[in-house]
Structure 1
């Protein structure tokens, strides 16, 4: 048990994000902009920023809107770019739809795997059937994790070895604390609001699974059969949560990208019409057909409409890329973790060495 001497409260706590913990205003805005915020609100914010940038550059005298040749060239480029962007989004949508097409055998296998998963959730939570709403399924698994952790703490409360007792209880306290946080988030969420998926991707079950597996093997000779069974139950619940998270994350991202494709088509037509209108404003041989005082603001507003598909692309890709990056691995493999961090220092042959010492 030499490794237990290096274990601290900090290292035994979960490495992943703290669900529900308050952060600074800048961090909160960063999280809102990346994943938490409504994508249409983020798109509107990007569009307002583009408008403010163009008008600001005009007010500073850096750009002007009086040369019809340069403006019409920009309008032509924006039309070509919008067509390319819409074509790309349609291709992405077709790729997503292709995943939905399958033969009867594959469809049956996929259906049976989902049924088996739901039966495992129902058995773990001791209920007749798993709920239909994904957020409630995740909530049930989190309740199971919290219950198993509490049972494990009660089981080792009277353990003779102080190091084993304190280490396991410290770990179970950390698990229960984070389960409470994610449970509060899930109670106020539904699948369509992204908050359920956000809570799932921020919950650090990979780190908890890693620590639980190490404790199970490290203290195999010290723990009672009941404690080992309870630890196995906790490991099973954590594995079930990992599977649920991947399933719901995949389903949500499919819906998210499909919605993005739909909105891009909606924005595509106004975008192209606005680009054409920019060119038509300068079609008169006498110059722009509106007042030069209003011209910068009108053209800036039209440019914002032209770039609305791009702003939409930015908002949606930021979320999907962030979710994919934060869930890049399955199970107790944490690529973003520093190799030197962690509560356990192990080397090849540690288990054989400890057996020889005994």
Structure 2
């Protein structure tokens, strides 16, 4: 074996090892890449054919990368409603363009399901490829023929929709820390008419009463728009007693008679009480309670006033407040589950 042959054999080993390191680097670099499949390097011996003579020449080694493209990955939860994943075998079929596809256009396969909606309503992944799917006939049947991918169509969700549904029920799961010390000065201001709904820390001097705890509840109106209601609490002077308010952001609601609110006034206000074991006291009812019947707690938001004024629907619940005129939304009644849902509203000696 010549010196040159020995050196070439050693160089092939270094080259193969470099390829293996490159594969490892690629796997590490793509650890967070959606749909990426790991690669591995396999080594094989290079044997030179000895056709004549008795001399020997070392062949060395070569590296071959193996991509596990058909291996199923772990499904992950995301916050996007257009992200998809395949459990088990199979691939998404994608194309490089969304419209005017011909038989000569390539159909590609991927397991990456992070799709977004483009400006035209088509589903496109992070590589800029468009998702294909089987069209649905007018009778609801799907004519899927895996042998003929020309029947696939680019999926467009721009025209998919339905009637907006307003929120009708929410569950409130919250804890109020029982060992919170009542703030006598704050309670005095609250008794004098200041509210938690009007609290503004950045005002000079600060206005309103700072709540000991508050929680925001997102609700959908009749157009599907998101509005926010806030439930705020301040510890009362008596044990197991809290003053509570439900209010909306300034400018989102009006008084029930259609006049603007001069301040960010509460929609509902009153007292909530708890039993000695920290549960909501559902026996506490009456005009001073946040809800006269805690087991049937509801808030009615009347329709946005119009010109001419909106005609009340006969038999409809009396609204607590009206949605603001510029929202242009309909009446809705929201049932607030205070105690029957998992956990519900409690008063334990743990963090609010």
TM interval, shorter chain, is under 0.3
Q: Which has the larger radius of gyration?
A: 2
Bigger relative contact order (CA 8 A; separation at least 6): 1
The structure where helix makes up a greater share of residues is 1
TM-score by length of 2: 0.20
The structure where strand makes up a greater share of residues is 2
